[in-house]
Every structure is written in structure tokens, then in C-alpha cells.
Amino acid sequence: MFFPVIMAGGSGSRLWPLSRQLNPKQFLPLADDTFSMLQATIRRLDGLDAAVPRLICNEQHRFLAAEQLRQLGLEQAQIMLEPVGRNTAPAIALAALQSLGEADDPILLVLAADHLIQDVPAFHAGVHAALQLAEQGKLVTFGIVPNRPETGYGYIEKGVAAGDSGFVVNRFVEKPDLKTAEKYVLDGSYMWNSGMFMFRASRYLEELECFRPDILAACRLALAGGAQDMYFTRVDQAAFTSCPEDSIDYAVMEKTADAVMVPLDVGWSDIGSWSALWDVSGKDGMGNVFKGDVLAQGTHNTFVHADSRLVATVGVDDLVVVETKDAVLVAHKDKVQDVKKIVDQIKQDGRHEHINHREVYRPWGVYDCIDSGPRYQVKRITVQPGARLSVQMHHHRAEHWIVVSGTAKVTNGETTYLVTENQSTYIPIGQVHALENPGKIPLELIEVQSGSYLGEDDIVRLEDVYGRV
């Protein structure tokens, strides 16, 4: 048995406007209409002798990650929270240190949450080959057999054979220019660097101790000063913030004498851009990929994602069109790498469209800001069965709640009562209140806020089952 470690950090800004800071690409159903990238990564482990996966994610994504694990029946899976991003070497060190306290030097399979793998049986065969090498004390990386010259990936040059299916790593190569990438593909000895690994926890920590003892020391302090909160492992913020930033490639894999590579030919993609998603998606006879409500005339080799309304295209070629409730992207397929520049401009302009969608996920459910104006805001709120909002009050706004479906248990000052479909209630400014769904179906309600200030920071939480401040 091995322990899967799934790294779910990152913002996926090149997939804006669908990927946002608080809902990045790993939590989105990009290549699958049913499962997110994270959920697909976990489901890919079915059939392997794997323990329950451990997730590493940013603290601000904790409830989104927990909900997606719950949907897969993995409510008890451990989620390690990073207060800040420090790249892959420290993240994997935290997982390795924690796993040593739970098992007798387990083998870790380190995966990214946002990769697409289309040939799952071939992936399983690669994992079995890597497992044999990891049991021998090797640090295994997976190299993707390239199907084209690619300047967006690093490469791994394979050396002599190591076991039946692996090779000694000759060297890691930075992202090349096109001419060099073409030579690599023709040579046949170079694989794309996938960022997936397998090794014993102790071997990784030994090599980290040798080459980056400062990282290991900081991670030990961060874990020792942390705390367990439900299924979340919180590390010490000050200790982890002081940890140096480095990737596992630079910190360990490029320096160790025990690096080996297992080649994978599995239909792999990191879905790093809209053109990459177009590449791996099923296309119509005109080379188009349409998702959502789309009408097209004279359109070729185009990707259209319609999230909330009809999108129509006429006489266009090689475009990417992505519509969400609060933003629309139109880009040429050859220029989608520059989407990140739009995100940078949004940040510089002090806007918020890079942070979240109009729909905002909370541990109890989701809300959608459907209208707003001077002194008022209207939200559609969904509360999951058995979930509850915090006991709270507001200094600057009053709220009207109208139940659309389900039953609400409302605490309004000293009084607690039920509000059912087509009924409403009023929460005055300054009143302590709470909302709970005691039923078996989702609670849907419309909230109308009115007052001089309607920001989310006008919430004074007095009690919260989810540990939020």
C-alpha cells in the first residue's frame, strides 16, 4: 500500500474568467462535466492499493476542498492547510513528516490535483513500476512521453535503464525554445517533466536534510506548532511563512544521486491554458468545442464556454470565448497565454473579478449576488441539509429572508422559529441572528440586504461550528 499526496495549491490564472483566486482550476469540472480536476485525480486511484489520499491546499480553499472530498465519500480524508504558498518542496516535506507519524515509513505518491490523464490503465501500470523502484530507495519522477515539441514544459533526459521500466535521470532541463524542443522530440531521450513523484517518506526527508536542511527545519517547526481542527491540519503560520520557497526539482531531484524516471504515455495534460483544454476536448466536424448554451454559424476551431446565457458566434476562427456571470473573455487561441496579463491588470485596477465568481462557496453552502445598488443587495442563498451559518450580527445592514424551498430554522434575537416555503422574516440592524437548515433537502432563500454598508466584513461572528473568526 502507498499513501497518495495530492497537491491542490495554485491559482490557475491563465484559465480566467472560469478559474479565480478563491475557486481555482483544480476545483472546476474542466475536462469532465461531472467531476472537478481534483475529484478526477482522486478517482484515478481506484483500483490501486492506495490509502485514503492526503490533500495539501491553501487555507482559503479548505471548505471547498472538504466539500469536494465529501461528495466522493471521503469525509475523513486529511487536509493539510498551507497559510501561504511555499512551492512543492516544503509542501511535500509536511506530508512526509506527518505520514511518518501515522505509518511505518510509507511510500508516497505525489500528484498534482489539476492534471488530466486519459489512459488510466497505463497510469496504473506506471505507478506499479514506480512502486518497485521506490521500494528500493529510489526517488522516482514520472516523465511524459512527448507527442509534440512543447516550450511550456521542462524536460527530463533519461539515462541507462533502472529496473524493468525505469531509467536513471541524466538531467533536468528548463523550458526550451522551439528549435531545442524539436530536437528533444526527435532524440527520443527527453520526456516532459510531469511534476509527479513516488518515494519513501524517509528517503525524501533524508535528501532534503542533505540539500536543504533549512526547509526541513522550518517544516518540522511548522508541523510541531500546528493543530488539528476537525479533518484539517493547520501548521504554525509564523514558522511556515519563514520557510524558504523552493520546488522539489531544485531542492532535491536535481541534486540526489538516486533520481530515476518512469516514462508515461497516458494522454497527459496539465490544462495550463484555454488552448490546452481545446486540444484535449472532443470537437465537432468544424473543430469546435462548445460547452453550455452556444449557437454558431461559420465558426471553426473555436472554444466557447457559456456559463449562464446564450453565446452566439458568427464567422470566426481560432477563438476562445468564455462567458461567466460577471465577465466575458474573447481571445485568439494563439494568445491565450497572455490571459494572465488581464488578471494582472484587474488586480492593478483594484477590481475584484480575479478573486471570486458571483457565486461564493461557504462551508454551509453557496450564495449568489444576483443584484445590487446603492444601499441594497440581493443574494440567492443555498444552505446544505444539516448545515448552519454562524451566530452573527451586523452593524450597518438589516436583512429580509424569503424562503423559496425547504425549511429554515431562524434564531432572531432571543427567539427561534421555523420559516417554510413562501414565508419570510426580518433581521433588524444589530440583531444577533443565525440560520440553519434542519431538513433533508437544500434550503433555498432570497436575502435582501439594506443599509449604509453591505460589505462581507460587516459580519461579527459570535459562534461558528466551522471555526471561522
DSSP state of 2: B
Q: For the chain, which domains are there?
A: 3-269 (3.90.550.10), 289-347 (no CATH), 359-463 (2.60.120.10)
Q: Quote the CA–CA distance of 347 and 332 in Å, as a whole number.
A: 22
Sheet strands (E) in 93-218: 107-112, 116-117, 139-144, 155-162, 166-173, 190-200
Neighbours of 463 (CB within 10 A): 10
3-state secondary structure of 238: helix
CA torsion sign for 127, 132, 138, 143 is negative
Of residues 15, 115, 27, the one with CA closest to residue 329: 15
The tens place of each residue's pLDDT in the chain, 469 residues long, gives 899 999 998 888 999 999 999 999 999 999 888 999 999 999 999 999 999 999 999 998 998 999 899 999 998 899 999 999 999 999 999 999 999 988 889 999 999 999 999 999 999 999 999 999 999 999 999 999 999 999 889 999 999 999 888 999 999 999 999 999 999 999 999 999 999 999 999 999 999 999 999 999 999 999 999 998 878 999 999 999 999 999 999 999 999 999 999 999 999 999 999 999 999 999 999 999 999 999 999 999 999 999 999 999 999 999 999 999 999 999 999 999 999 999 999 999 999 999 988 888 888 999 999 999 999 999 999 999 999 999 999 999 999 999 999 999 999 999 999 999 999 999 999 999 999 999 999 999 999 999 999 998 999 999 998 877 6
